[in-house]
Amino acid sequence: MYKGASLAPDGGFSGEDIKDNDLNASLYAGRIRKWLGDDKCDEARTINDIDFTKFSSEDPIIEIHGCKSGNDTDPLTDSITKNLSEELPNGYVIGHTTKANPIINGDGKTSRKQQDYRHGQRVIWKGGKVIKMINKKGMLTVKDFV
């Protein structure tokens, strides 16, 4: 089972909360990100730990919902979306370029039932390269990829 927890410094869980309550088993882009992260539990993994032969599709579409998950701006650390797209060269990996949040219709205009992270600026990665930047609410379709 995957257990997630926000590590955001402005309202996420502290390292102590995570350890005391067994909250987190993060997936890091690479070993440097894992080393820099606050998750020191034994269950934390990196992209390199995934057995990609287990994927049932040769051209999967993966969307990562996380703040700036689509960026590759820091030369010292890895990008989770870039790394995944390199491991799945026929697949597509989508990530946010800005702060991600579920308030799809704006503050005070989004009910709990309407909450959805699929909005804002996102990038589509394929084979380790950004092939498209898109601003669209909701699920992306294959037409959005070309």
**Both 14 and 30 in a single domain?**
yes
| pLDDT tens series, the chain, 146 aa | 233 444 445 555 566 666 676 665 566 555 555 555 555 555 666 777 778 888 778 788 999 888 888 888 777 667 889 988 998 889 999 999 888 888 888 889 989 899 888 888 999 999 999 999 999 998 988 888 87
**Both 31 and 62 in a single domain?**
no
**Both 135 and 63 in a single domain?**
yes
**Contact present, 98 and 71 (Cβ < 8 Å):** no
**Both 124 and 62 in a single domain?**
yes
**Both 104 and 136 in a single domain?**
yes
**Both 60 and 105 in a single domain?**
yes
pTM, 2 dp: 0.70
CA 76, 82, 83, 89 torsion-angle sign: negative
Domain residues for the domain of 21 are: 1-49
**Contact present, 97 and 132 (Cβ < 8 Å):** no
**Both 10 and 57 in a single domain?**
no
**Both 61 and 121 in a single domain?**
yes
| Cα separation of the two ends of the chain | 35
Strands 121-126 and 92-96, sheet pairing: antiparallel
**Both 138 and 115 in a single domain?**
yes
Question: What is the number of domains present in the chain?
Answer: 2
Residue that is last in its domain, among 49, 67, 82:
49
Q: What is the pLDDT of residue 22?
A: 63
**Both 31 and 101 in a single domain?**
no
DSSP annotation of 6 reads -
**Both 31 and 77 in a single domain?**
no
**Both 95 and 118 in a single domain?**
yes
